[in-house]
Structure 1
């Protein structure tokens, strides 16, 4: 494409999506995320970048998702999805940041520089899939993405309102037709269809009951489950709440992030003791289970417990198949509860890899196993299966002895329920329900597998999050000077004490995580570490306090 034909890039920017702010915005662990009012020019430019990425990948389809996930409604965001349904390749994050921040006057020349830098063949066709969540700002931002794709003569395809994992799934299917059909219906057909197959093979036994309450966070996930609900044929009775009506605001006092961080049940439902409840987040990629006991205390079953439940069942199926040669491993971050790591390594005898926070790091590490299970404690995760693992299980399903064939068929269905591209609340919900059903467990049985060490998360607002540097998968702080020494000193005062700090990937806050032998001690340790961060890392505003 000759430079003169890049004039339209500037024309679209100037006339329709001008850059009206000097606020620097960075592509973080979840793409760009900030107040929606600051994003229109950024999303337009991501349309441009998606076309270049598609051409660098020989015309394979790239995804653009408009979402701010678990953030509150005034925020929004955008992230790119690579051809295999994975996060954008890390080396392109700097390119995305540069393109997002240049002035409109420099946009044309910067686009030309990037074309040259990444060696994008502008004669190739380019395909971009665009999805959005339910925020009122999303349609306008999706239109900006479409204009960016058109400005560089790419072909946009809009999916409208979908969960983030649905868009990842469709991108993967478009580039690999053996994975499924790249439509919302194709997603239901594969994932829900496989869950129904499993359910039909497994009678309801023990303490399991088919009624599940689901908190939809007033977002897209609840809306999609409302569609799915009608096709479940009684295999799972979904009672849905927080579906966005009655003035309910997205992620406000509800949803997976609220439940996990505040350790409180969401608004919108009268809780019955020991009722099984699943909470999704706003864009449907995180899942937390919980129940409230007869003393009105909440018990969380978060990403750690989900990972353990899935790992124990897959291990059992592999044994029944006679396929123990396949290497199964679990990937966690520093946020994983210490008790979960001990249970996985000592009881399940499954290896654990610890990586930096961010799904891209977990996903990459999980690929080193034949079967890799990764979950962040916040409920974001999935299972990935190598081609070798699928082939081994498929062969047993066809040629093994009767009992082995039965277990292998179940595992093949389990693989099909899994959205391997990214953490997916709906897919993970069906995986969890499959295991609870197979084992005849209720939430109390599940919670009794092991007991979490009490923990607390806090955040401290700082002038510049980049003052915090870490090493050892974010478990040790290397700057500012003296902070790690202070953390070590505070931790040493508490039995079973553990604490770490890390900069947020999306905003100027420092996140503090602490564990100790009692909830009171965990709370106290978190508050003390937060105070140290405030003093040594340039805290602004009010001094950190514990949530009530």
Structure 2
């Protein structure tokens, strides 16, 4: 929400972070102040658990209770929480904290620290970081085997894993990549740190890197701008069939794109990224003797063609969850290697502990097989295991395209997205719209689901679903079909049905 209204909220999150640490016997928890792809006046705050995962879902209600307690109610609300959860306040608290580049960050950071200090929590302040770096560091504070708990340690781990794969295949040529950094914190992290570590392997060009100009953040650039508008960001003048990428403001999302030979913009979004990773990992594992399963996790927003490609062409198991990374992340843990990406570019690849052990202990007399297994092992270090990470994901894309010798157009041609559209309708009460089947079907208003199905089933490969927005009094309407003209027709009819049902 607007940063000007968040001071008290982040103060209460600081309190909750200290309590969470104490509840977990002094394990370090993380706090990140960021509003990701939102406009510059906004800000927000995220909590991270000791494993680097998002905050345990059962604790979300406690955050809500504290944030909504008045000043006079807060002490009793905190006391009740401590009693309910039997928290031993004598246990020391430890909190790892950082912020993105918004101008509201320093003040909100201080308010959060004030909340942590209510319970004398020890604070490790890392200043300006990407969100994935904060997740990484939180994990490292609790698991030294995961990596060195410093920002430099993050970069060295990422760079070393990329170089290890690069050397396995005997590459000598440099790859070039242009990154639209959304005028956010990801830009300087590339130019000031990563570019020098990978100077022999990658030539980085970073545009929209005015991170010290707060009003420029996410303006006409960034992953959300590119994905939503299906167009190039500002300051990118593309050469044909050359790969480009856009981060969001806190660098936890990435989308890729290129312009084809006739000048058309072509988006390579989260669905395309997931299928690229899945294809490579499946083909690699097929050449080894390892018994490791791969699964792909999507939401209802995934393009139908990507789902068909993964299930029919690659024959991979597929799971569909409700919208939100916390749901995807949880489902991905059910596989030996779980690949999840939202279409917006937020995602990662999770390796189970058993899979890491299999890859680490693998031994073979076959040099080629050993190379392939080592590639998969190094990818587990390159791709952030804790959360979607624009930097790690992009490096994985670059090196896999080099290994597979794929141009952007060849990658894109693996399957063709169905024409689709996403729109929203403002409603007086979004709570009227409840769903089931991973948000793909409406339960209420009664009868509306049947009307929607009657609309889209008239068109070849038609699909549509309606769900309440999580952030505003609106419902979101998604439509796809074989023909663009049919998408427009379905959208018009579905929106009409939704408006009638919401009266």
Partner of 2:77: 110
Aligned with 2:273 (options 306, 309, 318): 306
Report the counterpart of residue 252 of structure 1 in structure 2: 219
**What does 1:77-92 correspond to in 2, within 5 Å?**
77-92=44-59
Distance change (3 Å), C-alpha of 1:534 and 1:222: farther
Q: Structure 1 stretches of 5 or more lacking a match?
A: 1-33, 539-548
Tell me which residue corresponds to 1:491. Answer: 456
Match of 2:134 among 153, 167, 171: 167
- 1:256-287 deviations in Å (ceiling 9; x for gaps): 11111111111122222222111111110111
Q: 2:98 aligns with which of 131, 135, 138?
A: 131
Rounded to whole Å, the distance in 2 between the matches of 1:284 and 1:98 is: 29
Are 2:21 and 2:29, in contact at CA under 8 Å, matched by a contact in 1? yes
CA distance in 2, matches of 1:231, 1:437: 19
The two structures have a TM-score, normalised by structure 2, of 0.96
TM-score by length of 1: 0.88
Looking at structure 1, the residues matched to 338 and 59 of structure 2 have their Cα atoms a distance apart, in angstroms, of 25
- Once residues 450 and 61 of structure 1 are traced to their aligned partners in structure 2, the CA distance between those partners, rounded to angstroms, is 44
Of 163-172 and 507-516, more deviation after overlay is shown by 507-516
Q: CA deviation at 1:78?
A: 0.8
1:269 and 1:258 mapped to 2: Cα distance?
13
More moved, 313-322 vs 525-534:
525-534
Please list every run of at least 4 consecutive aligned residues from structure 1 whose deviation after the TM superposition is greater than 4 angstroms. Answer: 245-248
Q: Spell out the pairing of 1:448-467 with structure 2 (5 A cutoff).
A: 448-467=413-432
Q: Distance in 1 between matches of 2:492 and 2:181?
A: 31
Conserved 8 A contact 2:174-2:203: no
How much has 1:533 moved relative to structure 2? 2.9
Deviation at 1:181, TM superposition (A): 1.2
Name the CA shift for 1:443/1:204 in 2 (closer, same or farther; >3 Å).
farther
Query: What is the CA-CA distance between 1:501 and the residue it aligns to?
Result: 1.5
Identify which range, 251-260 or 44-53, moves more after superposition: 251-260
Which shows bigger deviation, 446-455 or 487-496?
487-496
How far residue 428 of structure 1 moved from its aligned partner, in angstroms, is 0.3
Other-structure match for 2:350: 384
Deviation at 1:143, TM superposition (A): 0.7
> Paired residue for 1:271?
238
Residues 101 and 212 in structure 2, CA contact (< 8 A), matched pair in contact too = no
Structure 1 residues 230 and 530, CA gap change in structure 2 (3 angstroms) = farther
Evaluate the alpha carbon distance shift between residue 467 and residue 192 of structure 1 in structure 2; reply closer, same or farther with a 3 A threshold.
Answer: farther
1:443 aligned partner: 408
Partner residue in 1 for 2:340: 374
Q: Pick closer, same or farther for the CA change 1:465–1:234 going to 2, 3 Å.
A: farther
Superposition pairs for residues 23-38 of structure 1, below 5 Å? 34-38=1-5
Segment of structure 1 superposing worse, 293-302 or 139-148: 293-302
Matches within 5 A, 1:275-286: 275-286=242-253
Q: Which moved more, 1:528-537 or 1:113-122?
A: 528-537
1:153 corresponds to: 120
Q: Contact 1:204–1:440 at 8 Å: present in 2 too?
A: no
Q: What are the residue-to-residue correspondences of 1:277-426 with 2, within 5 Å? A: 277-323=244-290, 325-396=291-362, 398-426=363-391
The question of whether the paired residues in 1 share the 8 Å contact of 2:271 and 2:343 is answered with yes
Q: Write the distance in 2 (CA, Å) between the matches of 1:254 and 1:511.
A: 23
Match of 1:519 in 2: 484
When residues 472 and 245 of structure 1 are mapped into structure 2, their CA distance, relative to the original with a 3 A threshold, is closer
**Displacement, 1:209?**
7.2
Compute the RMSD of aligned alpha carbons: 1.7
Partner SS state of residue 88, structure 1: coil
The 3 A distance-change label for structure 1 pair 376 and 178 is same
Contact 1:209 1:442 in 2 (8 A): no
Are 1:234 and 2:205 an aligned pair?
A: no
Equivalents in 2 of 1:209, 1:439: separation in Å? 15
Unaligned stretches of 5+ residues in structure 2: none
How far is the alpha carbon of 1:528 from its aligned partner? 3.4
Distance 1:67 1:530, change over 3 A: farther
SS in 1 for 2:43: strand
What residue is the counterpart of 1:432 in the other structure? Answer: 397
Which of 433, 436, 444 is the matching residue for 1:471? 436
How big is the shift at 1:117? 1.2
- SS of 1:270's partner is coil
Confirm or deny: 8 A CA contact 2:184 2:211 kept in the other structure: no
- Distance of aligned partners of 1:495 and 1:140 in 2 relative to their CA distance in 1, 3 Å threshold: same
Number of equivalences: 501
1:246: how far off? 9.5
Partner secondary structure for residue 230 of structure 1: helix
Q: Is the 8 A contact 1:321 1:403 kept in 2?
A: no
Per-residue deviation, 1:243: 0.7
Cα distance between partner residues in 2 of 1:41 and 1:96: 12
CA distances 1:132-157 after superposition (whole Å, capped 9, x unpaired): 11111111111111000001111111
For 1:169 and 1:256, how far apart are their aligned partners in 2? 22
Greater shift after overlay, 521-530 or 74-83? 521-530
Q: How far did 1:203 drift?
A: 4.5
Q: 1:410-449 CA distances to partner (integer Å, 9 max, x unpaired)? A: 2221111011101111110011111101011110010011
